[in-house]
Amino acid sequence: MEHKIAETNARIDVADVLRGLAVMGIILLHSIEHFNFYSFPEEVPFEWMKFTDQAIWRGLFFTFSNKAYAVFALLFGFSFYIQDNNQQRRGKDFRLRFLWRLFILFMIGQFNAAFFTGEILTMYAILGIILPIFCRMSDRTVVIFATLLILQPIDWVKLIYALCNPDYVAGKSLAGYYFSIAFDVQKNGTFLETVRMNMWEGQLANMTWALEHGRILQTPGLFLFGMLVGRRKYFLYSEQNERLWLKALAVSLLCFFPIYGLNNMLPEFIERSAILVPLQLILSSFSSLSFMVLLVTGLLLTFYRVKDRSFFMRFTSYGKMSLTNYLGQSIFGSLLFYHWGFELGRYLGITYSFLFGILFVLLQMVFCSWWLRHHKHGPFEGLWKRLTWIGKNK
């Protein structure tokens, strides 16, 4: 019994470490982007910052862009499995309760959207409906459907249509239109004007961007794969799982570099945007997922092989409070960088913004460690849990 509890704790710990690192990556990216407000000083204070600005921008986007969100989505499905499995063991059906939980997440997402155009919780609440639909289906069915979503079928249709119709020209980006409206308000608007914009144009910008960049289909596909990770106990250490992780690591390495290189070469050989855009999106999606698998399997192998896990365990409290940390970055990011607040985007270039992001993450980690010494759950995590089970004993 004690061994089983230890295994379960290890599985949850490694998920919290992954979640913590993913949220950290998301916050660092948002910091250098000025929280979707692409306004930067015209000049840098030191000449060497021209190099560091580019190195940090490219390095962070290479490492975390799309990958951190992919890990976050994978773990959303994994968490659903843990909750659903716990209720099944008690002879209860969690599916309807999870739909209520998604509604609460939707409302939390609306609160978050008032501050930040990059809000993802609302999208998770909508797309998360796929989990109770597929949770009783066979592994084979789940894998087939999840794979179809991951393969970006919409962009394959766009690509085939463009190849069959040489005169076809794709329309302008809706996301670009809505983000331009958002930028004007972020640059000049009051707090109330910013909130009003975020609740309509900001959310439309975010949703249309997700649609145009394949995240609308990729996200539920990753939810399903995360559920399978939990169902098949892949986060538990065993010799069989270790062999599987090593194979996944090797395959992801073999896939990532040629796909990434091919995607960068395409503009030299394809000029027609109706073909280039969907093809690049498909390839960039595959390369990002390959790199995400590389990161996850690399961390799993390291986590279970090292004797001293103290460094990794520092991220568990941060991962356990990922919802609170995510909401915190939206509120403080808007306050610090938008016109209605301190408008730091006028003064902080990429290098300084990166240092700010590191400081912000460190302060959040200190707060998380302190909070969890006195409470079982983070502020918003506890609220979400209490509202999930309102009116019913677990």
What pLDDT, in 10s, does the model give residues 262-292?
999 999 999 999 999 999 999 999 999 999 9
User: Long-range pairs for 380-386 at CB < 8 Å and ≥24 separation?
Assistant: 380/108, 380/323, 380/324, 380/327, 381/320, 381/321, 381/323, 381/324, 384/101, 384/104, 384/105, 384/108, 384/323
Residue 212 one-letter amino acid: E
Q: What is the mean pLDDT of each run of 10 residues along the chain (394 residues)?
A: 49 90 96 95 92 97 96 97 96 97 98 95 98 98 98 96 95 94 96 97 96 96 98 94 96 96 96 96 97 96 91 94 97 96 93 97 97 96 96 68
Q: 341-365 pLDDT, tens per residue?
A: 999 988 999 999 999 999 999 999 9
CA distance 282 to 285: 5
Q: 153-180 pLDDT, tens per residue?
A: 999 999 999 999 999 999 899 999 999 9
**pLDDT for res 8:** 52
Find the DSSP H helices in 165-272: 174-188, 191-197, 203-212, 215-231, 239-269
**pLDDT for res 391:** 81
**pLDDT for res 42:** 87
Q: Can you give the length of the chain in residues?
A: 394
**pLDDT for res 4:** 46
Find out whether 8 and 306 touch, Cβ atoms under 8 Å: no
Whole-angstrom CA distances from 139 to 49, 145, 146, 296, 392 are 51, 10, 10, 21, 31
Please state the pTM of the whole predicted model: 0.95
**pLDDT for res 388:** 96
